[in-house]
Amino acid sequence: MTDDLIHDPKGGMPRLLEIMRRLRDPETGCPWDIEQTFASIAPYTIEEAHEVADAIEREAWDELKGELGDLLLQSVYHTQMASEAGLFTFDDVANAISDKMVARHPHVFGDESNAKSAEQQVRDWEAIKAAERAGRAETGVLDGVAKGLPALTRAVKLQKRAARVGFDWPSTDQVIDKIVEEAQELREAEGAAHREEEFGDLLFVMANLARHMDIDPEAALRAANAKFTRRFEAIEAALGEVGRTPYDSDLSEMDALWDRAKAAEKAGR
């Protein structure tokens, strides 16, 4: 067996596929890689997808190439395991997505006119996907919404599906009224299980409000996390200037420093 392809810096996709095949070789591969399964690798797949999104959000273009490579490796990992089990190969995966893209873009690859708006294309896309779901015997309105999606994203997708058949509040005011109702139910909840249930209900309605306001709740929460991080780091920096840390401070002082950081951000806009 030659290692020429393994060490070829221009080996491209064949090189990566061969590396994964060798890592999974039951006799000469890596013990850790050999013992992995679809289920054990799935969390890494999700994590790598989030890291790609993070690099894009930060416009860290120098990092994006590496993050996309990490995500590509996840597809290669899963397809190698599938190939070993006789399920499908990497070529099967590539052909499947190619077939799907051709089928979903008849205005580009078929006889349909491409003189349509982006909104019309979205409607056509949804109609094609609905037909695909019907072909898979997914007849329920909510069938096919992946359970592994981030919870807020899945909530929005479920609500969009329900809205297509008219199960939706007509205005944001009604959604906000429901938020107030759910918040009160959370306040009155007794016991850990009941509180968790009511908290979930509140989050679900908040996701619905995001949908009505055309806001991506995942993106909004990421932005809020980033803002919190910035302002708390400003608190640490301010305390550091006088030789102290948050451990040496108290809520009142840190709250005042928070307000100062908030005001500085607003003044800099």
pLDDT in tens, 50-105: 899 889 988 999 999 999 999 999 999 999 999 999 999 999 999 999 998 998 88
> pLDDT at position 204, please?
96
Contacts of 75 (CB under 8 A, 6+ apart): 90, 93
Shared-domain flag, residues 122 and 93: no
Note whether residue 86 is domain-resident.
Answer: yes
Predicted pLDDT of residue 137 = 66
- pLDDT at position 2: 66
Same structural domain, 230 and 253: yes
Give me the amino acid identity at 50: H
Q: Give Cα separations from 1 to 5, 6, 24, 148, 178 (angstroms).
A: 10, 11, 15, 40, 66
CATH number for the domain that contains residue 91? 1.10.287.1080
Residue 266: predicted pLDDT: 87
Question: CA-CA distance, 162 to 160, in Å (whole number)?
Answer: 5
In this structure, the answer to whether residues 91 and 22 fall within a common structural domain is: yes
Residue 265 DSSP code? H
Q: Are residues 79 and 127 in the same domain?
A: no
Domain extent for 259: 218-267
Query: Does residue 173 belong to any structural domain of this protein?
Result: no
Average pLDDT over the chain, rounded to whole? 91
Specify the pLDDT at position 184: 97
**25 shares its domain with 56:** yes
**In angstroms, rounded to a whole number, what is the distance separating the alpha carbons of residues 147 and 154?**
7
Please report which confidence band the pLDDT of residue 27 belongs to, taking 50, 70 and 90 as the band edges. very high
Say whether both 22 and 74 belong to one domain: yes
DSSP calls for 161-173: HHHHTT-S-SSHH
Model confidence over 43-52: pLDDT tens digits? 999 899 989 9
In whole angstroms, what is the distance from residue 16 CA to residue 71 CA?
A: 12
- What pLDDT was estimated at residue 67? 97
Say if residues 57 and 222 touch (Cβ distance below 8 Å). Answer: yes
d(CA 76, CA 41): 11
Contact 158, 147 (CB under 8 A): no
Whether residue 6 is contained in a domain is answered as no
Same domain, 94 and 109: no
Four-CA torsion 184, 187, 190, 194, nearest 10 degrees: 60
Q: Domain tally for the chain?
A: 3
Average pLDDT over every residue of 141-150: 83
Closest CA to 140 of 118, 121, 167, 116: 167
Q: Is residue 40 pLDDT above 70, yes or no?
A: yes
DSSP string across 104-154: H-HHHHSSS-----HHHHHHHHHHHHHHHHHHTT--STTTT--TTS-HHHH
Verify that 24 and 89 share a domain, yes or no: yes
Q: Do 260 and 231 contact (CB within 8 A), yes or no?
A: no
* Tokens 């890689």 belong to residue: 33
| pLDDT at residue 127 greater than cutoff 80 | no
Contact indicator for 155, 171 with CB cutoff of 8 Å: no
Average pLDDT over residues 16-43: 95
In this structure, are 88 and 17 located in the same domain?
Answer: yes
pLDDT-derived band of residue 186, with 50, 70 and 90 as boundaries?
very high
- State yes or no: pLDDT of 207 exceeds 90: yes
Last residue of a domain, one of 99, 124, 148: 99
Structural domain includes residue 201 = no
Cβ proximity of 193 and 201 under 8 Å: no
What pLDDT was estimated at residue 217?
92
pLDDT bracket for residue 148 (50, 70, 90): confident
Classify residue 191: in a domain, yes or no.
Answer: no
The verdict on 42 and 94 lying in the same domain is yes
Predicted confidence (pLDDT) at residue 123 exceeds the cutoff of 80: no
The answer to the question of residue 229 being in a domain is: yes
CB contact set of 183 (below 8 Å; sequence gap of 6+): 202
pLDDT at position 138 is: 65
Higher pLDDT, 129 or 33: 33
Neighbours of 155 (CB within 10 A): 22
Q: What is the pLDDT of residue 78?
A: 98
Whether 241 is in a domain gets the answer yes
Considering 66-80, 100-114, 214-228, the range whose residues carry the highest mean pLDDT is 66-80
Q: Is residue 208 part of a domain?
A: no
Query: Percent of the chain beyond pLDDT 90?
Result: 71
